[in-house]
Structure 1
Amino acid sequence: MSSEFQPHRRAALRWTAAAAAGVVAPVWAQASDWPSKQAIKLIVPFPAGGPADVMGRLVAQVLGTALKTTVVVENKAGAGGNLGTDQIAKAAPDGYTLGLSAISSLAIAPTLQPKLPYNVERDLLPISLVGVARGALVAHPSAPFTDLKGLIAYAKAHPGKLAYGSSGVGTSNHLQGEYLAMRAGIELLHIPYKGTAPLAQDLLAGAIPMAFESSLVTAGPNVQTGKLKAIAITAHGRAPLLPQVPTLEEQGITPFDMPTWFGLVGPAGLPKAMVTQLEKVLAEGLKTPTMQERFAAIGADTRPGTSAAFARYIREETQRYATIIQQAKVTLD
């Protein structure tokens, strides 16, 4: 375990301790008229069109309906999701700024980027896990391989020349590429994009030969229509949306379980009663057949839960990805 990870792990205990002690924000932040004063801003730290944006807009719909208020989604892309997540962390803890952040900013960045402008445990309050998405390794039809065996053979014959795209430096699909390269003994060239939408555009145009996509938002329909060819699913179990596509584990890379997850967070100091209300709203709103179908359409499952459970999950994932980062020798240099 890296030395950078240890302080975060110790600090993470504050989440549990604060919850147990019933620590709440000042009275001014617990106004009984919340959220009637103004619209709630929901920051999505990725561009429009990707899985974070899709889930963010579904969450906004759930919150707006249940709380009888307007929820405005603001896409604040940049730095693999860290730019928007920093804005969430620095917002007033009054319930009018929330965020739909992701694994990259909450569990990967603390190890990979020790100079983050925010501290996950100190500056953010996990409210609820929202969804977990299976991703896929997909290729342009012109790529000179159709399965993982062919990909590995091509990469070994052309070391450092086979490029793959991701939705940004330090994102889960960036690490998927690095981890596959390590496990398969190959050298790949990473091409980072600012989100899934621009990545998908270049892949469809043939500007890059393949990509690790963090969900099936664009990969699913494009594989189904023959515009892309699927090489593998990057998590445990085949995706119901693409049942014919084998996992990386089925093709010999074991273990390989790297789904992308997203959760609702707010700035530290949100009143406990407000957090409890948001937990309940998400638990009820995301379990409806309509919402489950909407999530399934992008290869994702709804996973609402409690604030304490989400905080624990973030800690576990931070530790897991710290190990992966060390094993794969991933750096931002």
Structure 2
Amino acid sequence: MTEAPKRARGWTQARRRLLGAVLGCPVVLTSTVRAEPDWPSRPLRLVVPFAPGGGADATARFVAQELGEALGQPVAVDNRGGGGGTLGAMAVLAAPADGYTLFHATPGPLVTNPLLMPALPYDAERDFAPVSLLVRAAYVLAVHPAVPAGSLAELIAMARAQPGRLAFSSAGIGAGSHLAGELLRIETGIDLAHVPYRGTGPSVQDVVAGQVPMTIDSLSVLIPLVRAGRLRALGVTTRQRVAELPEVPAIAETLPGFEVTVMNGLVVRSGTPEAIVDRLSQAVVRIMASPAAARRFAGTGTRPEGSTPAALGAVLEQERRTWRGVIARAGIRLE
């Protein structure tokens, strides 16, 4: 069950081809523009750096609908998957800094890609301006029911008794599920093997099938499997327990200070007029505090959380500090 399955292999060549395509595309950077007095006077575009159907896409579509109503102009969702979010980021940077092109940002293109891909054709800190947080969510550490560990402490004891024999799956090298697993390995000092896949779906499917014993992935993905008894949850990665799985302890109850959350935010190109950034931020804060947002995310393990631009900037900086250290200590690299 700990041997890397065949479907996890071959991702490296595909990643290389995709990264080559990304780095071969020029980024068109235009100068700062002045805010239109009647902005917005035409439809907006919200770029999502992933294919349709995932959690980020679902959140973006809710935000686009509500933001369009708040601004009086439609907001179209533009899915630009590829390069771990890099193609979507480049699409935003190729547009004018006029507030009409928005970016549904996750840690990949703004935090971890710059740490893993030093030749990226953009500077994540310089080229994007934060607008607002959108949502936060927990990850869940889950094991196949055949794993004889009923708690995190028992899992740690198992791993220490058999170094390198216990493996965890992830959505790919550098993905949030990979980094969360590496942080767990570092904080506990245990020797875990990593089995990377090309996406969350196959990663989780093979844990359910018993091909890999454990994974750490988003709460919204794993809740149905845990409730159906197809996986056993041993811990959530937020500081406190979550309402959706109240019987599952926080990992921090065993490892004080341990915390990993899934973050989605809204950013624009740097140089976008401050008045537009402020208007967008205020609209998003109202949306994410609305009854509609509460209804939309109820029971999913995802918490709507609008913020000021400065607050999102601080979250991104904290994410960079955390994952810079994990990537360095774990020796993670895109081969």
> 2:205 & 2:92 partners in 1: Cα distance?
29
> 1:64 & 1:207 partners in 2: Cα distance?
44
Q: Hey, what does 1:5 align to over in structure 2? A: none
Matches within 5 A, 1:298-309: 298-309=300-311
Q: Hey, what does 1:228 align to over in structure 2? A: 231
1:88 matched to 2:95? The reply is no
Contact 1:135 1:299 in 2 (8 A): no
Matches within 5 A, 1:138-157: 138-157=142-161
Instruction: Report the identity percentage.
Output: 39
Identify if the C-alpha distance between structure 1 residues 198 and 73 changes in structure 2 by more than 3 Å, giving closer, same or farther.
farther
Amino acid paired to 1:227: R
1:62 deviates by 1.7
1:325 deviates by 3.1
Q: Which runs of 5+ in 2 are unaligned?
A: 1-30
**Aligned equivalent of 1:97, options 63, 77, 101:** 101
Secondary structure at the counterpart of residue 43 of structure 1: strand
Q: Hey, what does 1:160 align to over in structure 2? A: 164
**Aligned equivalent of 1:312, options 284, 306, 314:** 314
Matches within 5 A, 1:126-205: 126-205=130-209
Contact 1:169 1:332 in 2 (8 A): yes
Q: What count of residue pairs does the alignment treat as equivalent?
A: 305
Residue range with higher mean Cα deviation, 164-173 or 236-245: 164-173
Amino acid paired to 1:273: A
Matches within 5 A, 1:18-29: 25-27=32-34
Identify if the C-alpha distance between structure 1 residues 206 and 85 changes in structure 2 by more than 3 Å, giving closer, same or farther.
farther
Amino acid paired to 1:110: P
> 1:103 & 1:118 partners in 2: Cα distance?
15
Contact 1:110 1:318 in 2 (8 A): no
Deviations 1:251-295 (A, max 9, x none): x22321111211001122222222111111101111012302423
Q: Which runs of 5+ in 1 are unaligned?
A: 1-23
> 1:173 & 1:117 partners in 2: Cα distance?
25
Amino acid paired to 2:312: F
> 2:250 & 2:234 partners in 1: Cα distance?
8
Contact 1:41 1:98 in 2 (8 A): yes
Matches within 5 A, 1:263-278: 263-278=265-280
| TM-score of the aligned structures, taking structure 2 as reference length | 0.81
> 1:101 & 1:120 partners in 2: Cα distance?
11
> 2:55 & 2:148 partners in 1: Cα distance?
28
> 2:237 & 2:41 partners in 1: Cα distance?
43
Identify if the C-alpha distance between structure 1 residues 191 and 32 changes in structure 2 by more than 3 Å, giving closer, same or farther.
farther
> 2:225 & 2:319 partners in 1: Cα distance?
30
| TM-score of the aligned structures, taking structure 1 as reference length | 0.82
Contact 2:174 2:332 in 1 (8 A): no
Amino acid paired to 1:272: E
> 1:179 & 1:70 partners in 2: Cα distance?
41
1:314 deviates by 1.6
Amino acid paired to 1:281: A
Secondary structure at the counterpart of residue 265 of structure 2: strand
Contact 1:46 1:53 in 2 (8 A): yes
> 1:140 & 1:170 partners in 2: Cα distance?
23
1:217 deviates by 1.4
Q: Hey, what does 1:37 align to over in structure 2? A: 42
Amino acid paired to 1:35: P
Q: Hey, what does 1:244 align to over in structure 2? A: 247
Secondary structure at the counterpart of residue 130 of structure 2: strand
